[in-house]
Amino acid sequence: MSKVLKFGGTSVGSSANMRMVAEIIKGENAKVTVLSAMSGTTDSLVKISSLAKNKEDITPVVSFLSDKYTTCVRELLTDYQAAALEKCEQVFSGIANAAASYDGPSTERQILAQGELLTSAIFTFYLKEIGYKAKLINIPDFMFVDENGKVDTDKLKNIKREIETGDKDTFFVTQGFICTNAEGKLDNLGRGGSDYSAALIGAAIDSSEVQIWTDIDGMHNNDPRYVENTYPIRKMSFDEAAELAYFGAKILHPATIQPCKEHGIAVRLKNTMNRNAEGTLITNDGDSQKRFHAVAAKDNITVVRICSARMLMAYGFLRQVFEVFENHKTSIDMITTSEVAVSLTIDNDLNIDSIVEDLKPLGKIEVERNSAIICVVGKIGYSQAGLAAHILESIKSIPVKMISYGASARSMAFLVDSEYKKEVLRLLNNNLFNLC
């Protein structure tokens, strides 16, 4: 059974954790291991890029990162220590040189890629140190994206031939998150892209299972950061997991599900710090018994309202609205309409000023920030009388600004002010999960 295992930054955040990861991939007989950068690395690299852009001193941050990695190397390695330390020196010298000649986003993307490249190199040295057959794969040689950020899955299939060069005892290690863009330069798949990398690699090599290892025991029914007495969901469907991931469940990147669903590859969410815990298994078949499976919240939502009498008895108006957002490469989360108004939400307001300017010819535009989308996932089809009413009854004390229901039999989402998010999560937790 061919498995792809992905480990997040916390899972490889120290020498002790890397030792645990090695034990896990041996126990799981992982064919490919996909690694994020050590925890905290990407944030530090973002800071270095920002300082370089403003021509400020990057030395303290580079020194901090260098100490972090060299300490890990000295604690982890003996035979391969010199080679790993030389690799560290090359990487941090390269970061300093790139920062010194900063010339825009291309430099930033080059800097951001170094965490995954260095972490995977150190971990491969460690596998060899403890007597495993290990081979490091440079994923930018296989993971290519076009000008719109879409991955070329045909080129990625070449990784299968690379893996076939090793025998059944060879462990392949590679990087998540990073790729090569249409200009042939280092780029990335965005925050959380390591999960997506693992799913794509799993599909490319016809894997039987993709495992996502983090520091929490599977997908929980609610956010344990804000709600007490949450519990891990043992089984769920691809569609349910996709809804939860999209609407805020932090354990899984939203794009991860689709490649695995299309190729019939099971996804398992596991806890590196508690490897014997069952975790969450995601397949075509979910838990058929529960009406309500989980709740998730998505923060930093911006509402855009377009009010126009031109909508009345007209056709083509919504197309014009959607084209504006398409032109600015901004996705829409929720939308509601009335006779003379459209309200929609976005989670990326980077281009909001330009969007508003382009929308003005269509009507009066209002923008409202500091909102949150709460999504309830389960079996909430319109044929089941009373379920939607039960959800809304649970939060009757909370002002609700928008509701999305009926597009999917798996979910109901609503918009509230961000200040109510924690209270809503707690109210739903107390009122929904006693129903089966």
What is the band of 340 on the pLDDT scale with cuts at 50, 70, 90? confident
Per-residue model confidence as pLDDT tens digits over 1-35: 689 999 999 999 999 999 999 999 999 999 999 99
Q: How much is the average pLDDT of 282-287?
A: 80
Percent of the chain's residues with pLDDT above 90: 76
Interatomic CA distance for residues 406 and 408, integer angstroms: 5
Interatomic CA distance for residues 418 and 349, integer angstroms: 16
DSSP state of 37: P
The pTM of this model reads 0.89
As beta bridge partners, residue 209 has 3, 266
pLDDT at 5: 98
Per-residue model confidence as pLDDT tens digits over 367-382: 999 999 999 998 887 7
- Whose structure tokens read 């929490």? 216
- Give me the helices (H) in 247-362, please: 257-263, 317-327, 352-359
341 CB contacts (<8 Å, ≥6 apart)? 305, 306, 307, 308, 311
72 CB contacts (<8 Å, ≥6 apart)? 14, 15, 18, 38, 122
Helix or strand run (H / E) with residue 139: none
Contact 266, 210 (CB under 8 A): yes
What is the band of 167 on the pLDDT scale with cuts at 50, 70, 90? confident
Higher pLDDT, 310 or 31: 31
Query: Edge-to-edge strands of the sheet including 266-271?
Result: 133-136, 170-175, 32-35, 3-7, 209-214, 266-271, 280-283, 235-237
Q: Kindly list the distances between the CA atom of residue 21 and the CA atoms of 125, 242, 245, 341, 372, in Å, as whole numbers in the listed order.
A: 13, 26, 24, 53, 35
DSSP string covering 377-432 = EE---TTSTTHHHHHHHHTTTS---EEEESS-TTEEEEEEEGGGHHHHHHHHHHHH
pLDDT at 287: 60
Res 68 pLDDT > 90: yes
Contact 378, 410 (CB under 8 A): yes
DSSP state of 306: E
Calculate helix-pair angle for 105-112, 114-129, nearest 10 degrees: 20
